[in-house]
Structure 1
Amino acid sequence: MFVEPRLKVVRSVDLSEATSQTQHALRRAGVSRENTDASRIWLGKVHTPAGYASDAHHHGEAETAGYVLKGRAYILFGDGYSERVDLEEGDFVFVPPNTPHIEGNASDTDELIWMTARSPDNIVVNLDAAPRV
């Protein structure tokens, strides 16, 4: 029997941390397979404490869109993570599939919060330790 997907609201207090994680980049799922009828998208917030950077990782086949909701960020990528882009509140970024990177908080005092969307899902492949910034 076919069950029609239903609209579902996920309240901010109900975001789930039961999703793929990378150290120093706490992902909280708002829209995911686990808490809605979503089958091809993941949407959530990523929190990075002041002065921290995530471990190196990539998102497999998933395309990733990011939006800096609060704070200042940087992303390291490329050969030996030698390339860097800086982002401010209100900036968007696209990370292509299978692109190894490190996401960092450029502030020593304020938390960084990203709004992140991925398709087809929140694929996270953690990589071996990378040089720290």
Structure 2
Amino acid sequence: MFKMASLLPLLQDLLPMIMPSSVHIARARDIVESPADEPRGVRVVQREAIVGRTDKMCATVTVVKPQSSTTVHHHGEQDAIIYVASGSGFLLTSPDDDASAPKRHALARGDFAFVPPWTEHQAVNEAQDEDLVWVVVRSGPQPVEVALTDWGGAQAKEGQQGGPSEEKQSSL
């Protein structure tokens, strides 16, 4: 005699094949606004591309203006894959110890980077006149971003130096 619990894994595999799902398209024109539309003084803008559509992953777009950087942050339990859509810059990751500088990983258009869960990192754009645009795909339905006061620092509070300074905009 079968127990209902033994059917659960089978149902989870079959249900997506039986139940129709819809495709969702996020258009670039709806995600990345023109420079004239960007708020004055904001140096980093994060916009939702595909968020809340599945429980397994989400995608955002991060635009880092020239001579700017994101806060030092991590994505909690989420894995993240970064794709450089345009520009070039650096992915800084946690130093080996308190006396070391953060590790610098140069990234240019077309490059990918994998950032494991809880890994402190920062996007840096040292260019004079070109935006750095990253597409970030994370495990989980909603993006998690925990801003820190510094490398190995405490979680930053809203508005605190080192805290969340990015403007977060939903495109959809």
Given the two structures, how large is their TM-score scaled by the length of structure 1? 0.79
Hey, what's the Cα distance between the residues in 2 that align with 1:31 and 1:9?
A: 8
Q: As a proportion of its length, which structure holds more helix?
A: 2
Q: Secondary structure at the match of 2:69?
A: coil
Q: Does 1:89 align with 2:109?
A: yes
Q: CA RMSD in A?
A: 2.4
- Extract unaligned runs of 5+ from structure 1: 17-22
Q: Secondary structure at the match of 1:27?
A: strand
8 Å contact from structure 1 (residues 24, 55) kept in 2: no
The partner residue of 1:63 within 63, 79, 82 is 79
| Aligned match of 1:32 | 51
- Extract unaligned runs of 5+ from structure 2: 1-18, 33-41, 152-161, 163-172
Hey, what's the Cα distance between the residues in 2 that align with 1:29 and 1:66?
A: 14
Hey, what's the Cα distance between the residues in 1 that align with 2:150 and 2:102?
A: 15
Give 2:145's aligned amino acid: V
Give 2:112's aligned amino acid: F
Q: Does 1:124 align with 2:145?
A: yes
Given the two structures, how large is their TM-score scaled by the length of structure 2? 0.62
Name which of structure 1's ranges 7-16 and 118-127 shifts more when overlaid on structure 2.
Answer: 7-16
| Aligned match of 1:15 | 31
Q: Which runs of 4+ in 1 moved over 6 A?
A: none
